Amino acid sequence: MRAFLGPLDEDGRIPAYQQTLVSSFLASAHGAYARQLAFALSGRLHYGWQVELHSQFCREMEILSLLARATSWVPVPTLAVSLWHWESTWLPSPVDAIGDRGLGTLIDLASFGHAVHSVLRPAALLPEGFDQADPFALAMRRIEFESGRLMQAQILFLKGPELVHVRAGVAAAVERRHAQVRQQWNGLLRSMDIETSGKHTLAPAPAYRGSPPPAPASVASDAGAAVRSP
């Protein structure tokens, strides 16, 4: 097995077949998160944390547009089956253990977004010697950079004081979503004969059971009240 994408073509670019597979996976995961954000933001914005979700929705749409434009797409006969598996995994799964379906849905949304943004490291797949001006390679770097910024707000919400009473449910949701995303990502890497030693993903999901740091009001202070509003 290889450690990176490749071998590079004569122009120093990632093979189009691999570009299609990686971008299809990223588009599936980021697209599912964008759809769930859009559903959570239907109608006017009434709370500060919704502004942050709206910002994340816009960044997700930017990522999807970048993937569509920067990838050299080619037909992959097995992609339809893979997409079905991926999309089935990304379906919303509210945390039922906390007894509040609205809050459980919001926790699952944040957990899924955190997993997508923290587990996936597409830029780590780039081999040495690739064309520095290759749109696909630059897109992978940009997506990984944006993901590092986006997951900070999710961390603040998931560790926020309004979720202290459901900390165990939050921890379980984050661990489950991280495991799902990592399993599907590793499956994609194995299908391309790339090793899954861990360099292409981050460490396991962080614990969410400890004392939470203070969260800004713009992200989470009124989240608990919002999801309980009629």
Q: What does the pLDDT look like over 73-97, one tens digit per residue?
A: 999 999 999 999 999 999 999 887 6
The pLDDT of 1-7, averaged and rounded, is 88
What does the chain come to in residues? 230
Q: Do the Cβ atoms of 82 and 188 come closer than 8 Å?
A: yes
Q: Write down the residue that tokens 């990838």 correspond to.
A: 71
Q: Could you give phi then psi for residue 2, rounded to 5 degrees?
A: -90, 165
- Cα 185 from chain centroid? 11
Whether the CB-CB separation of 127 and 5 falls below 8 Å is answered with yes
13 to 56, 128, 199: CA distances (angstroms): 30, 11, 21
C-alpha span between 34 and 23 (Å, rounded): 16
Whole-number Cα distances in Å, 107 to 65, 88, 167, 197: 27, 19, 11, 29
Distance CA 197, CA 203 (A): 11
Q: What is the pLDDT of residue 207?
A: 52
CATH 1.10.101, applies to 16-228: no
Domain ranges in the chain are 16-228
pLDDT in tens, 108-147: 999 999 999 999 999 999 998 888 889 999 999 999 999 9
- In this predicted structure, the answer to whether residue 221 has a pLDDT above a threshold of 50 is no
Amino acid, res. 56: Q
**Contact 224/162 with Cβ under 8 angstroms?**
yes
Burial of 69 from C-beta contacts in 10 A (0-12 / 13-18 / 19+)? exposed
Question: Is the Cα torsion angle 126, 196, 156, 211 positive or negative in sign?
Answer: negative
pLDDT for residue 161 = 83
